[in-house]
Structure formats: C-alpha cells, structure tokens
Structure 1
C-alpha cells in the first residue's frame, strides 16, 4: 500500500512536467493562444515623446500662430488599424457650445512645446463633421 501512495505523486509530477514541456512554445492566457511577441523599444527615444496626459487641454495653433482650438482627447482606433486621432474642441465659450472634431494625430506637429495644425483655421475646423463620443 505504501508503494502505491508514492507512485501517484511521481506520476502526477511527470504528467505536469510533460504538459508544461509540450506547451513551452505556446503561450496561453485563459486558455487562448497568445500572439504577442517581444519587440525591442528604444526607451531613450520613447522617453523624449509626449505623454497624452500632458497634451490634453493644450491649445492648438495654426501656422500663423492663431489659436484655433484645444486638444480635448486622443482616441486610438480599435485594432490600431486606423491610427490615433486627436479630438479638438473648437469654438464655444467657457466650455459652452464647443464643437468637437477628429483629426489624424499625425497631422499635428509639436513645435517648441506648442501643438500646431499648420493649414487649419477655426472656420475650417468648425466645418468638419462633429465628433460625438460613443456611450460608455
């Protein structure tokens, strides 16, 4: 009887080891295979970028240094296939009557800590379709 009791833990350990070894090349989370691969990032270059939390609320200017709006938010499209968009608040007074518009983030330039949308004017931004957030 003693011998059978010792074999069961050994068999269980071998089965566990075999299972772990067979899944070594496949990473699983909650039973689903993961496609995340390691990618090296230049952290020094990344650290010189701009944090979204610091850009939010920044005034946006055009090439003539006219204030044309405020950067209200950043939206990353689902799947990242369409890129990142800047949501700009245009017009209004003290937050009342503001018009939100979406422009590709890549169209913005950051020059001397100033957010610039070179070719835009208040009028051209107000002519864009209004952006509305999806309900939570």
Structure 2
C-alpha cells in the first residue's frame, strides 16, 4: 500500500510539473482584451530600451542620456528627463523634455536643435513634492 501511495504521489508531481508553463508576456489572461495584449507585445521595455540610452542632436553629438520618464495623470507618457554633464550621476543636470520633441532614427533618440550648453542653461527639473503612498500592509484575516 505504501509503494502504491508513493507511486501515486510521484505521478501527481510529474503531471503537475509537465503541465506548468513559463509566464510569457502578452500570453497570460490579465483581464485585458486581445487587442490590448497584442499592443503589449509591440511596446517597449522602459528599463531595457529607453532608460540610460544616449540622446543625440542634429550633428550626431551625444548631448545627454535618458534618466527618467514622466507619466501624466491620464496615463500618457508626457516627458523624458534628460541627464547631461556630470560623472556617474554626480554634478549632472536634469532637464524635462516633452516626448513630442524627440525623433527616433535607427533606434537612437534625437533632440533636434539641442546642444549640451542649451540643456545646461535650462532650469533643472525637480520632482514634485508629492507624499509617497503608504507602505502596503498585510491584511489580517477575520477569524
């Protein structure tokens, strides 16, 4: 009987492992429509494709790099924060630039008409003083 129950448990474990699948972006049902799911597959990863990437001007000179992205209250992408100057984040000057001002050519970000000096002369971008949301707390179950 013990051998039979061990074999039954082993079979159940193997069946569960065989049916488990890796989560693939855009293939899981997360309460989104097929069209929204397809749009996710065509989108960019901010971390992998945008943040830290260089920004060039018309003369193909590097004038800074994308430091952050600003999301408007309606959920649209409104601005990119460009970091110029400095070394390893020390002494850098951050400037917010509207997304519409950028051009994308061959996978590179361009800011037409911009120079390092013009960006440094622009007032520095400061984050708003919005209170941080409270740290999530574990909900105690009612007993």
The TM-score by the shorter chain falls in which range? 0.5 to 0.7
- The residue that corresponds to 1:99 in the other structure is 93
User: How big is each residue's C-alpha offset from its partner over 1:18-48, in whole Å with a ceiling of 9 and x where there is no partner?
Assistant: xxxxxxxxxxxxxxxxxxxx8x55936x644
Query: 1:112 aligned to 2:70?
Result: no
- The residue that corresponds to 1:71 in the other structure is 66
Q: 1:82-97 maps to which residues of 2 (within 5 A)?
A: 84-97=78-91
Secondary structure at the counterpart of residue 78 of structure 1:
coil
The CA distance in 2 between the partners of 1:80 and 1:112, in whole Å, is 27
- The residue that corresponds to 1:128 in the other structure is 122
Q: 1:108 to 1:50 in 2, by over 3 A?
A: farther
TM-score (norm 2): 0.58
- The residue that corresponds to 1:3 in the other structure is none
TM-score (norm 1): 0.61
* Structure 1 vs Structure 2 CA RMSD: 2.4
Alpha-carbon distance, 1:107 to partner: 1.0
Which structure has the larger Rg over C-alpha atoms?
1
Unaligned runs of 5+ in 2: 1-32, 133-143
- The residue that corresponds to 1:9 in the other structure is none
Larger mean Cα displacement after TM superposition, 46-55 or 106-115: 46-55
Unaligned runs of 5+ in 1: 1-37
The CA distance in 1 between the partners of 2:58 and 2:36, in whole Å, is 33
Count, aligned residues = 97
Secondary structure at the counterpart of residue 115 of structure 1:
strand
